[in-house]
Structure 1
Amino acid sequence: MSAVQPWMVQMDGSSSGWLVDGHPVPTRLRHQQGGGGVMFWAIIMGTELVGPFRVPKGVKMTSAKYVEFMTNYFLPWYRRKNYAFRNKIIFMHDNAPSHAAKNTSASMAAMGIKGEKVMVWPPSSPDLNPIENLWSILKQKIYEGGRQFTSKQQLWEAILTSCKQIQAETVQKFTSSMDARLVKVLSNKGSYVKM
């Protein structure tokens, strides 16, 4: 299976609770100046990390905004791919309200992404999504050495730099694990799997 896994995350100037290779990331108590964070959107597919693309401040990710992001960022990338590539991929996004909305499904169908080309996600299943592993690596890179941020722009620049440092082999490791994840979930009768 080849799957496109988009991801939208919020990062702020602090982190706590993430496990990376079995070790907790140190808790950072100070938020960046002014509070809040940076929301961005990206895709992993095969060996590619497409993005990140920053979500403008104050934008609530409704179905309309999610479709706008897909139209502006995913669709141009997708259309540059050859027919054989587009024919074999499966689009994966979770059950967030903006992803599961009827408007989103209709818009994706208009893009040619419908039926078997969209993975049906069971609720509460982040263990199925390989991009969650990549998210942990990215967060570790951004906060390496106890780094703190004093502005959203500084945080965004760290996100961009850290994304550029992620190797194609790392992305491939996670995307190629999708079949194994599904097999494990089936053998566990739907229970959580650790990958």
Structure 2
Amino acid sequence: MVWAGISSLGRTPIVFIPTGVKINAQTYQKLVLKPIVKDLSKSMFNNEPFLFQQDGAPAHTANTTQSWLHSEIPDFISKQEWPPSSPDLNPLDFSVWSILQTKACCKSHKNLEALKRSIICAWNEIPQETMRMAVEAVPSRLRAVIKKKDGYIE
């Protein structure tokens, strides 16, 4: 499994979840939130506050994850505020993952390490302008979902 994050200002490093590791609240916090997300305010946002959004995966919505986010990330969209199954509102889902997949998987790979290298290379090749445009598309997509009365827009 692969985890990544984007903003209009930058991107996180790609996080590869080791083969065989089950993603639950504890592993998500240990492998992603604490080493990557906790320092985003410093590393990406010049110590300015930022709004953290994640999808509705069980590890993301677990009470312990929500509690950790509440104490460590001042502004995050809680599971009560975020609609379930909402790929139309997640810039990684509606834009970036498909670009990454197209770039990284355009050829076969000899092994897992080769695939990981290809993913990292492709991730770093995606222009920041693409990330910014995806993030900035969220408000208009939110309005479109509301207009459709919570229906999918794509």
TM-score normalised by length of structure 1: 0.71
Are the equivalent residues in 1 in contact too, given 2:52–2:73 (CA < 8 A)? no
The reply to whether residue 66 of structure 1 matches residue 28 of structure 2 is: yes
* Residue 109 of structure 1, CA deviation: 1.2
Q: Which runs of 5+ in 2 are unaligned?
A: none
Amino acid of the structure 2 residue aligned with 1:65: T
Contact 1:47 1:169 in 2 (8 A): no
User: Alignment partner for residue 82 of structure 2, among 106, 114, 121?
Assistant: 121
Aligned counterpart, 2:61: 100
Residue 43 of structure 1 pairs with residue 5 of structure 2: yes
Shift of 1:53: 1.7
Q: Name the CA distance, whole Å, in 2 between partners of 1:185 and 1:90.
A: 20
Higher RCO structure (Cα 8 Å, ≥6 apart): 1
Gaps of 5+ in 1: 1-38
Structure 2 Cα separation of the partners of residues 78 and 47 of structure 1:
11
Give the structure with the higher percent helix: 2
Shift, 1:169, TM fit:
0.7
Q: CA deviation at 1:128?
A: 1.1
Which of residues 154, 173, 194 is equivalent to 2:114? 154
- Give the secondary structure class of the aligned counterpart of 1:60: coil
- Find the residue that maps to 2:120 and give its secondary structure: helix
Match of 1:179 in 2: 139
**Cα separation, 1, equivalents of 2:52 and 2:61:** 13
Aligned to 2:38: 75
Please state whether the residue corresponding to 1:105 is helix, strand or coil: helix
Indicate whether 1:140 and 2:99 are aligned: no
Deviations 1:141-170 (A, max 9, x none): 0122xx111210010000011011000111
- Counterpart of 1:163 in structure 2 is 123
Where do 4+ consecutive residues of structure 1 move more than 6 Å? Answer: none
Offset of residue 57 of structure 1 = 2.2
d(CA) in 2 for partners of 1:140, 1:82: 32
1:42–1:53: 8 Å Cα contact kept in structure 2?
yes
The DSSP-based 3-state class of the residue aligned with 1:49 is coil
Give the Cα separation in 2 of the matches to 1:167 and 1:76.
Answer: 23
Between the aligned partners of 1:113 and 1:60, the Cα distance in structure 2 is 28
SS at match of 2:74: coil
| Equivalent residues, number | 149
